[in-house]
Structures are given as C-alpha cells and as structure tokens.
A and B are shown apart, each in its own frame.
Chain A
Amino acid sequence: MSVSTTAPYITTIGLEIHVELNTNSKMFCGCKVAFGGKPNTRTCPVCLGLPGSLPVVNERAVEHTIKIGLALNCEIFRSSVFHRKNYFYPDMPKNYQISQYESPIASAGSLDIPNGVTRRIGITRVHLEEDTGKSIHAGGSGRIADSDYSLEDFNRAGTPLVEIVTEPDIRSPEEARAFVSELRAILETLEVSDVRMEEGSLRVDANVSVREQGESGHGAKVEVKNMNSIRSVGRALEYEEERQRRALGAGDVLVQETRHFDERSGSTSPLRTKEYAFDYRYFPEPDLVPFEPSERWVGNIRSSLPELPAARRARFASEYGIGATDIGILTASTAVADWFEQAAVAYGGDAKRIVNWVIADLFGLLNEAGIELSASKIAPSGLADLVKLIDTGAISGKQAKLVLAEMFASGGEPGAIAEAKGLRQESDASTIETVVDEVIAANPDAAAKIMAGGVNTIGFLVGQVMKKTKGQANPALASELLAHKLT
C-alpha cells in the first residue's frame, strides 16, 4: 500500500497563466499577430529591438486586459505603468521584456470554479507584457545548454501577452484542471485570445507544494512547466502531488526547484538548476508614459462584457431545464454553447431534445471525423429542422440518424436529404393497419401469445411490420394498432 493513501497531506497549488492576445497588431508596433509563418517575416525595427526604435502601446491590448480583469472580478488600476524586466536571453530582442511590476492593469480578483462544490480561487494580478521570440536549439537535447547552434525566429516577439497569477488557493490537481478549463472558457467568451494550448497561446505554469497536515507554511514550492493541454495540467499535477507525498512519506526533504513535465512519460524531472538567482532589476519603462484608463472607458468595457460561462450555465439550467452534466459538456466551449443555443432557439420546443442530438449524435460524428463543431457543415437550424421532422412523424428517429450523417457529410437540408434517400415514415393508420392484419395472419402463434397476455412478444410483430414496410411504418403507430387488435 502506498504511503500517499494513508498519511494526511495537504496540497497547495498556485497557477501562473500566460495568454497571448488575438489583437491585429503586436503589443508595441504595427506588425501582425499570427501563429507560425516563415521565420522573421513579421518583424520591424521595434519588435526586433533595433537601435533607436521605441515602443508604442497597443490600446486594444490594454482593453483586452481590462476585459479579462473585469471578468475575473478584479480592481482596475487608475494609473498603470510598464516596467522593464532585465535579463539576457537570445530570443529576447532588447534583453529586457516590457512587462508590469508594481501597478498591473488589474489585481485582487477571484474566480469561482464549478467543481462539484463551487470553490473561489483568488486572482492576485492580471498584467500585460510582450512575448519573446522563439529559439530552435539544434543538436543535443533540444535545450540551449548543449545545443550545437540555435536559430531565432522573432515572428512571435512583441505579441501581447497577459499574465494571470492566482493565489495559492487551489487544493488539488482536479481543481487546477477545472480552473484552467473555466478560465479558458471565459477567455474564449471574451474573444480576447485563441486559447490554443498546443500552439502556446495559453500557457500554464504551476507552483505545487505538499505538506503534512498540521505542518505550518506551504512546504517547498516546486514550479512545474511545459503543460501543453488541460489534460496534461491534470496529469502533471497528479504526478507531482504523488511524487511529493511519497518523498515526504519516505522522510525526504523536498527542495524548491523547477520541474519539466514530459508528455510521453507523464512524469516531471528537474530542469538544470539555475547557477544564480535572477535579479530582474525592474524599473519603470522610460520609453512609455503611465496610462490612466478613464472610469468612463472602463465602465464602457464593463457594460459591453458578454455573458460569462457561469451566468450562461445558470441560464441553461433555468431556461432550458438542462441537467448539470449536460450543461458542463455544452458550455466547455463557447462555440458549442453558442451553436446549441442557436439550434434550441430555432427549434423552439423542448431544448432537451436538441441536447440529446448534440451530445449523443453530433459529437459522435465530430469525434469520428476529428473536427471541431465550427468546422462541421451542419447549421444549428439544420439540426432544429431535423428534430422537427421527427416530431411531425415525417421520419423516424432511426432514419433521422441517417439523415444527420448525410447532413454532416454533404451539408444539405434534412427534408431534401430524407426525400432523396426515400426516407420517410408511414403514419397513415389505414395503410399500416393492412400490413398489421397481414402480419397477424402470418404469425398466428405470436398473436395467440399476445392475446394470452404475453405483451412482450409485441415487439417481434412490430419488427415484422417494419420489415414488410421497409422500415417506413411509424413504429409507435404499428405497436398501437397491434395492441388494439390483440388485447
């Protein structure tokens, strides 16, 4: 039995999250913000830090940061300044990063995470800075220390980057995962970032410490880096929590260090220890003037905030009567929630019918094809029309699945597809009655059993009716007629 399950341990986690904003231009120059591209093509004297160049603040980036701050219930600073963070690294054009230090744009907020019971996680600060370029280290392990040479791509340099720092309020890897997931949904709703973890537009670092119950303080702080998906946030932190518990259980002393998460092995390993402690020598950026967002501007931003995921979840429950699990699935992404809501409105009936079709059927098709909902050919109104066809009895639920598959493949209208495929449901009672009579005549034994009270065998006769009508008979109607005649 592992020590971790017997000894009472307390886990403390704080997150540092970097979000690349999706502004048109970079933080301090007019170069385009985009992912990838031919190296060093989206650069200019400013983002290359050429001698004589000067930064000019991107107002849209400040607006995005204020939005994030407001969505995280933060206070917005009346006067905010940029600071220089000084350190040498070859992918940093000026060898200092323009960042924020004493007066970030937003601070002292919180985010409630819906993880079984709602937990409130404190937000220490939300600040704005510039991203660095990207180094590609050739040879060795792929890290700078033992590489043969390194190439630098400055396309990313100067991309607006928001750093969100939480209080050490998170108590488990699952909570951390839920926090990132909720934050990601908020950022998506605000439309301020592409939030693609795999492309690095959302980057999560975690500080994890485990201590025995009754011990004061938080224990040695271990920073975990390189978690490239929400799933790996959970995996990395579970591994790290377990590692620290075992170490403490074995009587080892944990050290403060930075550890690298390896996606393949699912484990963390220490990064090369720093030879010296960094002293970033922060000082106010003299090339920029302090900026003072007016109360009016902040007020306008506040009143134009979209409905945030928590509010939407509450509304989905009250307005559509959807259960918590389904709401969780539908609101994990803004795009899906929007899509669902458009379909529900177009349908107009009981939204739970739409929920089932989206979660059970549409998601299955998306998973099979390996695409996002946004890339699918089915429009929300198309799904609504399809469910209406079932409601009117024009097609059966089984037929509807075939129609949906075709809509998914070709993007056509459900009615037209059903017609082209000859998929229709016979709901005329007299037509079905003829078939029912033929089936009863052909299956006297089964009919006799039903008449003797063996209602269970009615399914067999319904099947025969369906078979004879090549699946077009309305099964409910067939069943009703059979029951009527035989009981």
Chain B
Amino acid sequence: MASELVWKSSFGLAGALESGDVSAVDVVRAFIDRSGEVDGRLHGYLRRSDEDVLASARLADERRAAGRTRSSYDGIPVAYKDIFVTKGITTTCGSRILGDWLPPYDATVVERCSAAGLLSLGKTNMDEFAMGSSTENSAFGPSKNPWDLERVPGGSSGGSAALVAAGAIPWAWGTETGGSVRQPASLCGVVGVKPTYGLVSRYGMVAFASSLDQAGPIARTVKDAAALLELAAGADPRDSTCIPERPPRLLDGIDRGIEGMRIGVLESHGDAEAEKGVQTRVDEAYTRLQKLGARLEPVALPSFEFGISAYYLIAPAECSSNLARYDGVRYGYRAEGEDIVKMTSRTRAEGFGAEVKRRIMLGTYALSAGYYDAYYGKAQRVRTLITKELEKAYSSFDLIVCPTSPTTAFKLGERSEDPLAMYLSDVLTVPVNLAGNAAITVPCGASPTDGLPVGLQIIAKALDEQTMFRAAYAFEQDLGWISSPEGRPPL
C-alpha cells in the first residue's frame, strides 16, 4: 500500500516540504511506488524515468537545505502528456510516425515548470496527435479509467487524467484542441482547465490544430490546477499567438466566494442533452451554486449546436497542414520506397493511425480549391458566430455553466467504430475552444446511475480565469467530494 502522501494536494505537499516533515525524495518515492502499483492496469504512462526523477529529487532536497528552492513546489513531481517535446527524451505524440525521435529542446511549459523545480516523472499516454476522446487512438494501446478498468479515461489527455485520479501523480499537463483536458478530467473525476487561447505558450507542443491548441493543467483540486497553470502562463517571444500582457494572478482572491455572481445555465438539447445521471448531479451543482450566493438564470446559446460541425472542418484543415512534415525525410519513422513519392506515401501509410488519416483527408478536402469557401470559410464564419454569441452572453453573465460531457465514461470499444458518436463526446467543450475562452471542469460527484464521476463545466470569458477559479473553488470546497473517501477511485 502506497503512502497517504499521494492523496495530498500539491499545496499540501509544498507545506510538508517546507516544514521539513517530508523530503522531495520521500514525495517522489511515494508517487513512483503508487505509479508502479497502478500503472500496469491503467497504462497512463508511455515512459517513466524513476531513476532520473529520484536523482532530481535529491538535488531538490539539497537546494532546499541550502535555502535555494526554485519555488514552493520545488521537488514535487509532475507528468507531461507526450505531446510536449522534452529535450533528449523520446516524444511520440502517441504516434508511430515520430519513431525514436529525440527532441533537441524543451517545450516552454516544460522549461517553466522545471525552472520552478517540478520534477518530471514521465510522459503520459494520449490519442495519436491528440485526435480522439478516449486514448483508444494511441499507437501504444489505450489507457484505462481508474474508476472502472473496462472504461476509457476520456481523451486525448487520458493518460494524464487517469494518473492524477489514481494518485499516481499529484498533477499533470494535458492539452486541449476541442476538450482534450476537460473531457478526460470529467470522466476521471478530477479538475481540468482549458485556459484562454494564448495564455500558455504553444512552443514545444506538437501541433494538431494551431488556432485551437492550448495546454491545460489536470489536478485533483482547483487550487492545484490554478497553481500549475500559473507556473507556465505568460508571454513567450517564441509564440506569436501568446498574449503579450502579464497574465492574471490566478490564486489571488480564489477564496472570496461567489456571492452575487451572475451565472448563466446553458439550455442544452439535441446532441448536447446530458444523460440522466449526469443531469441529476449537474442540477444539484446548480442548486449548490445558488445556495452559495450566485444568481442563476438560463441562457440559450443556439450556435453551440454547430460547434462540432465547424470544429471538424477547422481542426482537420489545420491538422492536414501541420502533419505534412511527417514524411520520413528528416526524422522519425521512415518506410523504404523506390523513390521519394513511394517512400513518403508508405511512411505516412504505416506511420499514421486510422483516425489521423481520416482527419488529414477531411482537412485536405476542406481546403481544396473550389471547396474552401463552402467548408473552411463557412466554418470560420460559424466560429465567429459562436464567439459573438458568447461575448453577448457575458454582458449578462459572469460565467456560464453546463455539464462537461453529456455522459460518464464509456466502455472501451463502445464508440471506436463510430467516429461521429466519438466526436459528440466533445459537443459541450468544443465551442469554448472555437471562441478561445477559458473553462474548467470540476467534479460534482458520482452519477447515481453508474457510480462514475460527473464534471461540471464553468466557462469564463477570455482572460477571466480568476472569476472561473473562484467559482470552481467555492463549489469544490462546499461539495467536499474530492477530499472525501468517495473522491478516490477504487483502485
């Protein structure tokens, strides 16, 4: 049985390190042990570096002893979705096509977390190139949901979410394009954040759809998620789409409560209608928010229902271009062929999985001469519509709430033969990516129907993460689920 340490929040661990109750080596060893105990069943990691991270922990302890800690989190482990490039450490993005490529540089997120003394325990599993909602599209086999090993953890950041939920890592980085942090966090019963587009540098994040991609933290508590995000947020001269202004201080005023806050409750229907168990828990969450002093009113955002359609034109279009570089010429996997055309075709045929190929073909088609306006152009107009509709809603509301996912975790294989059903997993998250707004998922207990976690999504306007975290924190504290035994998966 692994140490109780693994159920502490990073805030708690930072306090224990500060007071000298534990050392970084103790902390890291606890998470290595827990990872060893559960990961055979979860398959959350693609790579773990136990020896390296222990050596790093010893250095962190030396720093602390010498009064030279890099931050209050110095010595706490973290895991990165395998989409973040890590210097000298294999980075696969869940794909065969990158082969044994060794990146010569660290992603900005990794660089900033390392500068704060966070220690990388490993790289986590994901859907290939972040395309998927279950991790079943990983070239290296799916991850499992710690609440039920026959179910998916969600995706594409499923490895990170499953490991955080199982206490195998205190926090981890995922990335979003259409819900890839929030959906798995929701399905695994943890907190996941999609920051405002441009809040976190994309430099060193393998691109899927550049105008949508954004890194996001996954943690067991709202405060930890805010703290991890704060470590990495802020302008980066290497990413032109990064917001140049100083980022908001995410922990400031997080405990000020939500008295008087105006919250819009999304009226959802059609594909976005939640299953009964999910709706029950989310309705309770709304009541709780009201009890905490917020003023709730329904809000209709009719353009949301076109989100998935627009998303599945824009994201594949960008991906068809972003993934063109994997051709076997310079790095990664190469299949032999008599000439350049055959070599490239075979490399891509063998190196990419089915879902990636599907999206490359969709995107190539959407950008083709004669179809551009009808598909890509129109999708961009829908995107503008969604953005404007949300903007208008913010004149009446501080935040908008709805379920994160219409369902709880589904069974492995249940949707893998039906791409459209899989795509609809993201129906409530995708519009936020299209608008570039911020959103968080916070657990609101287990569904009364199947006992699996349900997530409440709280959506905020761009760069209003402070208000978003405040509401999520107030809700989480009042519910008390994550700190109770019910908040731990039976693993």
Contacts and interface: CB of A to CB of B under 8 A. Distances in A.
A460 interface: no
Interface range for A: 20 to 34
A49, A50, A84 pick with most chain B CB within 10 angstroms: A50
Interface stretch (A213-221, A280-288, A445-453): A280-288
A285 to B, nearest CB: 8
B98 interface: yes
Nearest to B364: A281
B325 A94 contact: yes
Interface range for B: 35 or more
A51 B94 CA distance: 13
A36 interface: no
Contacts of A94: 324-325
A50 B104 contact: yes
B327 A287 contact: no
Interface stretch (A52-60, A65-73, A390-398, A408-416): A52-60
A95 B239 contact: no
A287 B98 CA distance: 21
Given A54-B240, A88-B324, A94-B325, A283 B104 contact: no
A48, A51, A93, A287 pick with most chain B CB within 10 angstroms: A51
A48, A54, A88, A145 pick with most chain B CB within 10 angstroms: A54
Given A95-B325, A96-B324, A283-B317, A54 B238 contact: yes
B329 A152 contact: yes
A332 interface: no
B104 A45 contact: yes
A53 B203 contact: yes
Contacts of A481: none
Contacts of B368: 279, 281
Contacts of B209: 286
A55 B105 CA distance: 15
Interface string A148-159: 001010000000
A52 B204 contact: yes
A52 B321 contact: no
A96 B325 CA distance: 8
A150 B101 CA distance: 21
Interface in A103-143: none
B103 interface: yes
A306 interface: no
B279 interface: no
A142 to B, nearest CB: 15
A288 B93 CA distance: 23
B11 interface: no
A90 interface: yes
Contacts of A281: 320-321, 364, 367-369, 372
Given A45-B105, A52-B103, A95 B240 contact: no
Nearest to A55: B240
B241 A289 contact: yes
Interface in B205-246: 205-207, 209-211, 237-241
B329 A283 contact: no
B202 interface: yes
A54 B317 contact: no
A95 B324 CA distance: 6
A404 to B, nearest CB: 54
A51 B318 CA distance: 14
Nearest to B213: A286
Given A52-B107, A52-B207, A96-B321, A90 B340 contact: yes
Interface string B316-359: 01101100110101110000000110001000000000000000
A49 B326 CA distance: 10
A54 B209 CA distance: 13
8 tightest CB-CB pairs across the interface, nearest first? Answer: A95-B324, A286-B210, A281-B367, A286-B211, A52-B204, A51-B206, A52-B85, A90-B329
19 contacts: A45-B103, A50-B85, A51-B93, A51-B101, A52-B105, A52-B207, A54-B203, A55-B240, A56-B238, A56-B240, A86-B367, A90-B327, A95-B327, A152-B330, A279-B368, A286-B209, A286-B210, A287-B241, A288-B240
Given A51-B103, A52-B202, A287-B207, 16 more contacts: A45-B105, A50-B85, A50-B331, A52-B85, A52-B103, A52-B107, A54-B203, A55-B240, A56-B239, A56-B240, A95-B325, A96-B321, A144-B340, A145-B339, A152-B329, A279-B368
Interface of A: 45, 48-57, 84, 86, 88, 90, 93-96, 144-145, 150, 152, 279, 281-283, 286-289
